Amino acid sequence: MKRITTLFLIVVLGLSAFSAQGMEGRYHAEATVDFHLRESPKESGKRIALINEGSKVNVTEHGDDWSKIIINQRAGYAKSDWLSKFVALDPFADPVPGHQRQIGVAKIITPALASVAGYSGTVLGPGDIVAVGRFTSEHALINMMREVTRLPKDTLSYEAFVPWQSALPGDLLSGFTTFLNEETGGRLAANRAFNIELAARRIQAATLQHQESFSFNRLCGPYKKSNGYLMAPNISSDGKGYGGGVCQLSTTLYNAALGLPLKIDKWKVHRERGVAYIPQYFDAAVGSYSDLAFTNLLPYAISLEVLTQNGALTVLIRRADEMS
């Protein structure tokens, strides 16, 4: 009898664990508005629970219009627009919805002005490297701020990212670019650029072995005068602080990391409306109360390369050399 009872408990515990895994879903996400959970994926679907803005949910299915979610052990449907701040629970299988996935990098051959509405622009010079979102027949499309700028194909050379499954040591796996110019930061623009360059040197060539974790704050913090940082604009109550601008680097790195199966361990946005140089919910704040941290799930080591150029801040991730 005791043996049967023990076997029963093992089966129950196993089923409970399986059920819990099933409840976990594909993503963690957050409600961006108050909404009613629907019994079916349509506006007329029966309302089964009120979900408050800021609530944490598990997403089991994600679609362009509707997503299936679980919250407080209740399953139902929500419009995908009602959800944000996605974190993939299996980065190998599920890319983060809304991420501006890049396909490779362009190396500028002849000077080119890159600009979009609301941003006066960045003059890219020969040798500058920027991530490419996609191509048309005549142009490379570059994500800039929250828009897209076009660079003629004849002004650049192109290198595609190598799929991580077939990459060799030294191969380029992922990357991302954000932009700034001499006006970014107002009268403290030079200080802001200095802070970005200082932090860039501190993560330059950082290497992560398989299952090793990266912490931006560990390498770059604390963001104080005593650690070499200058006063510059930031997102705080008084609008400035030592190390202002460093979050543009952490944001660029975060978006490069999303292009690979890396496990995001710590990540936080600055505020709901986000920052101008990246789409909403894709910034990555660092500081006393937030960090950008991730773990390398790839079966080999990776290394970071940071390029602080003519207003184009590019972070590249490579398969590390075997000697790393």
How does pLDDT run across 6-44, given as a tens digit for each residue? 444 343 334 333 333 345 799 999 999 999 999 999 999
pLDDT of residue 19: 38
Q: Could you tell me if residue 6 is inside a domain?
A: no
Average pLDDT over residues 212-239: 94
> Average pLDDT over the chain, rounded to whole?
92
Same structural domain for residues 206 and 263? yes
Q: What DSSP line would sit under 286-321, residue for residue? A: -BTTB--EEEE-SSS-EEEEEEE-SSEEEEEEEEPP
Q: Could you tell me if residue 248 is inside a domain?
A: yes
Tokens describing residue 41: 């994926």
Q: Are strands 240-242 and 139-144 parallel, antiparallel or unpaired?
A: unpaired
- Consecutive H or E run containing 15: helix 2-24
pLDDT of residue 13: 37
For 152-204, what is each residue's pLDDT tens digit? Answer: 999 999 999 999 999 999 999 999 999 999 889 999 999 999 999 999 999 99
Same structural domain for residues 51 and 109? no
Average pLDDT over residues 67-91: 97
pLDDT of residue 239: 82
The reply to whether omega before 222 is within 30° of 0 (cis) is yes
Which DSSP symbol is given to 163? P
Range of the domain at 123: 104-319
116 closest CA partner among 80, 141, 147: 147
Q: Could you tell me if residue 202 is inside a domain?
A: yes
Q: Which of 97, 125, 140 is the last residue of a domain?
A: 97
Same structural domain for residues 109 and 41? no
- Amino acid in the structure at residue 239: G
Number of domains in the chain: 2
Mean pLDDT lowest for which of 132-136, 268-272, 298-302?
268-272
Same structural domain for residues 267 and 214? yes
Q: Could you tell me if residue 235 is inside a domain?
A: yes
Q: Could you tell me if residue 146 is inside a domain?
A: yes
Same structural domain for residues 30 and 165? no
Within 13 Å, how many C-alpha atoms sit on residue 295's CB side? 12
Q: Which of 97, 131, 153 is the last residue of a domain?
A: 97
Q: Could you tell me if residue 256 is inside a domain?
A: yes
Q: Which of 58, 81, 97 is the last residue of a domain?
A: 97
- Banded model confidence at residue 238, pLDDT cuts 50, 70, 90: confident
127 closest CA partner among 320, 267, 309, 318: 309
- DSSP three-state, residue 184: coil
Same structural domain for residues 122 and 48? no
Q: Could you tell me if residue 17 is inside a domain?
A: no
For 102-152, what is each residue's pLDDT tens digit? Answer: 999 999 999 999 999 999 999 999 999 999 999 999 999 999 999 999 999
- Banded model confidence at residue 323, pLDDT cuts 50, 70, 90: low
pLDDT of residue 23: 53
For 174-183, what is each residue's pLDDT tens digit? Answer: 999 999 998 8
- DSSP three-state, residue 9: helix
Same structural domain for residues 160 and 300? yes
Q: How far apart are CA 189 and CA 241, in angstroms?
A: 13
Adjacency order of strands within the sheet including 172-179: 172-179, 312-319, 302-308, 207-208
pLDDT of 272 > 50? The answer is: yes
